[in-house]
Structure 1
Amino acid sequence: MTSIKHIQTQIGTTADGVWGDKSRQALKIVINGGKIITITKNISLNELLASNTAKKHNIDNTPNQTILQNLIDASVNLYQPVREILGVPMIISSGYRCPALNKAVGGSATSAHMSGFAIDFTAPKFGTPKLIVPHIVRKLKEKGIGFDQAIIEYPKSPRSWVHLGYKHPSGKQRGSSFVIG
C-alpha cells in the first residue's frame, strides 16, 4: 500500500514517514521538474495538487503530513476503485486545495478539498457526469466501498463535472449523491 514513505522514496528524501519541510521542498522540486509521483496505478500526486489558479496567484498548494495521508487514503480507497469501475481515464480538474487556493477559486468554506478528501473530475470516454454518478454510486454500494458524496455539478453546462468526496472533513462518509446547478 502507498504510504508517505513510498512518496518520500519517489522524491529522493529519507523515507522515514515524517513529512516535514525537506520533503515538502523536494516534492515541489521534482513535480516542477516533471516527475510523476504515483499513489496508485492510475492516480498521481501531481494531478491531485495541480492548479492553474495556484500558479497564477503564486499559492503554495503543497500538503502537510495530515493532508498527504488523506490524499493517499482517498486515492487508495476511493479514487482508484472508481477509476477501475469506470474502466477509462479520469481527468481530475481539482484535488487538494489549501485554504488560500480554495478561497481563490470561490470554494465552500467547508470544502472537503481542503482536507484532501475530494476531487472534481470528468471521464469523457465513459460519458457525461449524468451517466457517471449513478453508475459509480451503484457499483460503490454493491462493492461496499464507502464515500461521502458523488455530485453531478452543473449538468446543463458543457463543462459539467463530478465532485467525488471520500470523507466529510468531520470523517463521516454519508454516501449521498445529488445534483448542483
Structure 2
Amino acid sequence: MNKIKISENFSLHEFECRDGSNLVKLDEELIDKLQKLRVLVGKPIIVNSGYRTPEYNAKIGGAPKSQHMEGKAADIRVTGVTPVQVAKLAKQVGFRGVGIYDTFTHVDVRATPTEWDYRTKK
C-alpha cells in the first residue's frame, strides 16, 4: 500500500486502480480540488474509485472515454453527507464534471463542464 501523502488529507494509495495492479495516474488539479472540497466539507472524503486502467474500466462497465482512465476523476462519498450535497459543494470548488448516484458522487476536472444525475430514487 502506497502511503505517500499527495495533499494534507489524501494519500496516493487511495487513487490506485482497484484491479490489484496498484497502478495510478493522477491529475494535479483533481487533487487540488479534492483537498479544497475536503476543507469545505470538514469531514473525511472516501475515494471509492480513482484511477482505472482501460482494461479495468471496461471490465466494470465504465464509460468508454471515462475521465478515470486519465487520472482526472474520482468517485467519492462523505459519511453523513448526501451525494446531492457533495455535488453542490464540488461545484463550489470548481469541479467541472459532477455526477450524482445513489451512494456516491463522481467528480472530475474535464475541460467542458457537464453534470448528470443517475440516481434511481429522486
**How do 1:143-158 residues align onto structure 2 when only pairs under 5 Å count?**
145=94, 147-153=95-101, 155=102
Match for 1:118 among 62, 73, 81? 73
Q: Relative contact order, CA 8 A, sep 6+: which one is greater? A: 2
Q: Is the 2:17–2:23 contact (alpha carbons within 8 Å) kept by the matching residues of 1?
A: no
Flag as ranges the 4+ runs of structure 1 deviating above 3 A: none
Pairs aligned (count): 119
Amino acid at match of 2:40: I
CA contact (8 A) 1:86 1:136 kept: no
TM-score by length of 2: 0.86
**1:74 is the counterpart of 2:12:** no
Within 2, Cα distance between the matches of 1:149 and 1:37? 26
Quick check: 1:161 aligned with 2:86? no
Output the CA distance in 2 between the equivalents of 1:44 and 1:173: 27
TM-score by length of 1: 0.60
CA distance in 1 between counterparts of 2:12 and 2:52 reads 13
Q: Structure 1: which 5+ runs fail to align?
A: 1-30
Q: CA deviation at 1:85?
A: 1.3
The structure richer in helix per residue is 1
Deviations 1:132-163 (A, max 9, x none): 212332x32xxxx3x2211111x3xxxx1100
Q: In the alignment, what sits opposite 1:24?
A: none
Q: Match of 2:9, as an amino acid?
A: N
Determine whether 1:131 maps to 2:79: no
Q: Which moved more, 1:40-49 or 1:128-137?
A: 128-137
- Tell me if structure 2 keeps the 8 A contact 1:50–1:94: yes
Identify unmatched segments of 5+ residues in structure 2. Answer: none
Q: What RMSD in Å do the two structures reach over aligned CA positions? A: 1.8
Residues 4-153 of structure 1: pairs in structure 2 closer than 5 A:
31=1, 35-51=2-18, 54-55=19-20, 60-63=21-24, 67-68=25-26, 70=27, 72-76=28-32, 78-125=33-80, 127-137=81-91, 139-140=92-93, 145=94, 147-153=95-101
